[in-house]
Structure 1
């Protein structure tokens, strides 16, 4: 599996401008997008989500797990390892995430203008 890129998301993320959220917070859609290709460790998620504090990322992951969108798996042998992956429910959100990304790209200037006025 290919590593997540640090520049996966724009510095100015449209998720902060959207009037709606997927999941419990503005970072949930980005976490779901990061898990699209398969299970990831916390440290892997931190690469593209460097603007998110570890505490907030942990809260997002716990809330997404609680809501049934992701699964947390802990392995203890040979070393402790925790991974996060999308459930079928979470995978079902990917299409909506893509639709929202397309919509926000299409209306980016309007969203910025509205926030500035």
Structure 2
């Protein structure tokens, strides 16, 4: 998925949905996976970016299990994407931050 500067809306395709990863991410978390292993999970709604403990790179799977909250993901380039509620998507890192919003749509 190419991401341009600014905020892009993530529109996952059926090929990017990974039931195995989604099953291991409990509600109400937004989880990050690398090579099938969970490398982070976030729950707090914030107005500022939450830094990631590391800057994961390569293919990262992000699962948003929240029912009515969006997850915004920031890349090292400054680009961002918005992940709608109940979606899983694969992205190419490195990632630098996450922000969970109470907005129900991107």
Scaled by the length of structure 2, the TM-score of the pair is 0.28
Bigger share in strand: 2
Bigger share in helix: 1
Scaled by the length of structure 1, the TM-score of the pair is 0.27
Bigger Rg, structure 1 or 2: 1
